[in-house]
């Protein structure tokens, strides 16, 4: 269920009406947190806040959250924030009924399903779409842990465009590009379906249509972009992401670019490269299918075909004035070695090491 901006806090009141105590998992966007605390006080629901986690959240933080929800005996969870807050809340939901205290990464090895505690998510960025997916990412001993659970999809999503108003412009640009890259990669993913493609193409159109209003921080622009990112999340929930995301994580860790910034650095080069190489397609549906999807992306971006779509994507990237990092030879090799092999499997054209190296040379300076 999605609670739209028009009726949001009334519906939150309703959602909370049969609950006794809320665990509020929220990141440190302090100003918005204040507004929310005030709302919860008005609604008169007892709640306890949990913010003891960082971006790229650690398993240890989830363990602390589980300790808290058990001690406070909360009967519902509300996550407010970007992807990190929502992912932490998902993992607290999953692990809260598992045995023991989770020491030594124990819960990561258990394959029990998530608890069924009521779960509401409120995204405060229009980007990750985490509130629409069955995936969560946390880190244990420096290793990324990708966790999948059907119970991760919140029963209710609350959207308040005001949450986006105080986001720094760079974060707004980068998160929007994350949503756009989710939608684009979803279209060409080997796992795409008619349903995921419909979500993805609608998300691309919505990002393009509402970009200016969103960057000007209008309420309508922010509202529409929240919805676009959510729909893109629904698309990757089915199709997953592909080479752009496989290649962008290391760009973030080496150069410190925001995730969406790194993703569009990659996809603006990958898209035209794929148009030139679609005959190498390994998608079971054949090169004709891939060719059709590349054209559909182009049309959704506002062009007349794939080539024009690629030009529009390059134009969007230029307009946002996102930096292109300069990589040394050593960093280039680190990037090539750091590509995520799991996501690469979703890509419709095989990428060998030398191709990846060449692509990185175009992606970076």
CB of 182 to Fe ion, least distance (A): 6
Which one, 27 or 178, has the nearer CB to Fe ion? 178
CB of 145 to Fe ion, least distance (A): 16
Q: How many C-beta atoms lie closer than 10 Å to residue 2's C-beta?
A: 14
Q: How many C-beta atoms lie closer than 10 Å to residue 269's C-beta?
A: 23
In whole angstroms, how far apart are CA 55 and each of 58, 84, 87, 148, 259? 9, 6, 10, 19, 11
Which one, 160 or 178, has the nearer CB to Fe ion? 178
Q: Could you tell me which stretch among 28-36, 95-103, 175-183, 287-295 binds Fe ion (CB under 5 A)? A: 175-183
CB of 44 to Fe ion, least distance (A): 37
By beta carbon distance, the residue nearest Fe ion is 178
Rounded distance, CA 269 to CA 189, Å?
16
The HSE-up count of residue 136 (CA atoms within 13 Å, CB side) is 29
CB of 324 to Fe ion, least distance (A): 19
Rounded distance, CA 328 to CA 125, Å?
32
Which one, 43 or 344, has the nearer CB to Fe ion? 344
Q: Could you tell me which stretch among 163-171, 173-181, 187-195, 352-360 binds Fe ion (CB under 5 A)? A: 173-181
How big is the site for Fe ion, counted in residues (CB under 5 A)? 1
CB of 83 to Fe ion, least distance (A): 8
CB of 115 to Fe ion, least distance (A): 26
Determine, following the binding rule CB under 5 A, whether residue 185 of this chain makes contact with Fe ion: no
Q: Could you tell me which stretch among 44-52, 108-116, 170-178, 277-285 binds Fe ion (CB under 5 A)? A: 170-178
Determine, following the binding rule CB under 5 A, whether residue 178 of this chain makes contact with Fe ion: yes
Rounded distance, CA 268 to CA 363, Å?
8
Which one, 201 or 262, has the nearer CB to Fe ion? 262
Local structure of 13: helix, strand or coil: helix
Helix axes 219-239, 169-188, angle to 10 degrees: 40
CB of 263 to Fe ion, least distance (A): 6
Determine, following the binding rule CB under 5 A, whether residue 267 of this chain makes contact with Fe ion: no
Q: Could you tell me which stretch among 66-74, 106-114, 172-180, 341-349 binds Fe ion (CB under 5 A)? A: 172-180
Which one, 45 or 236, has the nearer CB to Fe ion? 236
Phi and psi dihedrals of 124, rounded to 5? Answer: -110, 10
Question: Which of 67, 86, 153, 94 has the alpha carbon at shortest distance from 125?
Answer: 86
Question: Which of 55, 37, 15, 287 has the alpha carbon at shortest distance from 154?
Answer: 15
CB of 236 to Fe ion, least distance (A): 8
Which one, 181 or 281, has the nearer CB to Fe ion? 181
Q: Could you tell me which stretch among 147-155, 158-166, 178-186, 352-360 binds Fe ion (CB under 5 A)? A: 178-186
Give the rounded distance of the alpha carbon of 190 from its chain centre. Answer: 19
Which one, 247 or 364, has the nearer CB to Fe ion? 247
Exposure letters 224-236 (e unless 16+ CB within 10 A, then b)? bbbbbbbbbbbbb
Which one, 55 or 113, has the nearer CB to Fe ion? 55
Rounded distance, CA 184 to CA 180, Å?
6
CB of 252 to Fe ion, least distance (A): 10
Please give the helix or strand (H or E) that residue 93 lies within, else none. helix 83-95
Q: Which residues in this chain contact Fe ion in the complex, by CB under 5 A?
A: 178
């Amino acid at each position: 269920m999605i609670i739209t901006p028009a009726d949001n806090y009334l519906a939150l009141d309703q959602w909370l009406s049969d609950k006794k105590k809320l665990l509020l998992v929220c990141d440190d966007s302090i100003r918005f947190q204040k507004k929310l605390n005030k709302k919860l006080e008005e609604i008169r629901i007892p709640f306890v806040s949990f913010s003891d986690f960082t971006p790229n959240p650690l398993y240890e933080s989830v363990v602390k959250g589980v300790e808290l929800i058990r001690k406070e005996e909360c009967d519902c969870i509300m996550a407010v924030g970007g992807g990190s807050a929502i992912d932490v809340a998902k993992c607290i939901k999953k692990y809260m009924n598992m045995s023991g205290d989770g020491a030594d990464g124990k819960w990561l090895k258990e394959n029990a399903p998530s608890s069924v505690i009521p779960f509401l998510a409120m995204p405060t960025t229009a980007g990750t779409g985490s509130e629409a997916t069955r995936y969560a990412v946390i880190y244990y001993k420096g290793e990324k842990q990708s966790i999948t659970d059907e119970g991760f999809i919140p029963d209710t999503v609350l959207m308040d465009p005001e949450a986006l108003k105080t986001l720094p412009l760079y974060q707004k640009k980068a998160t929007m590009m994350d949503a756009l890259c989710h939608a684009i990669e979803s279209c060409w993913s080997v796992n795409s379906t008619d349903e995921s493609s419909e979500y993805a193409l609608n998300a691309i159109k919505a990002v393009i249509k509402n970009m200016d209003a969103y960057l000007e921080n209008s309420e309508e622009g922010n509202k529409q972009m929240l919805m676009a990112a959510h729909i893109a999340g629904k698309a990757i929930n089915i199709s997953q992401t592909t080479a752009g995301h496989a290649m962008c994580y290391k760009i973030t860790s080496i150069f410190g670019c925001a995730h969406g910034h790194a993703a569009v650095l990659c996809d603006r080069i990958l898209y035209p490269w794929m148009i030139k190489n679609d005959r190498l397609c390994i998608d079971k549906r054949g090169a004709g299918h891939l060719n059709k999807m590349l054209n559909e992306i182009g049309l959704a971006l506002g062009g007349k075909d794939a080539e024009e779509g690629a030009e529009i994507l390059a134009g969007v990237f230029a307009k946002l004035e996102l930096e292109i990092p300069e990589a040394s030879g050593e960093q280039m090799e680190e990037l090539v070695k750091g590509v995520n092999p799991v996501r690469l499997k979703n890509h419709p054209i095989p990428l060998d090491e030398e191709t990846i190296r060449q692509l990185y040379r175009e992606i970076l300076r």
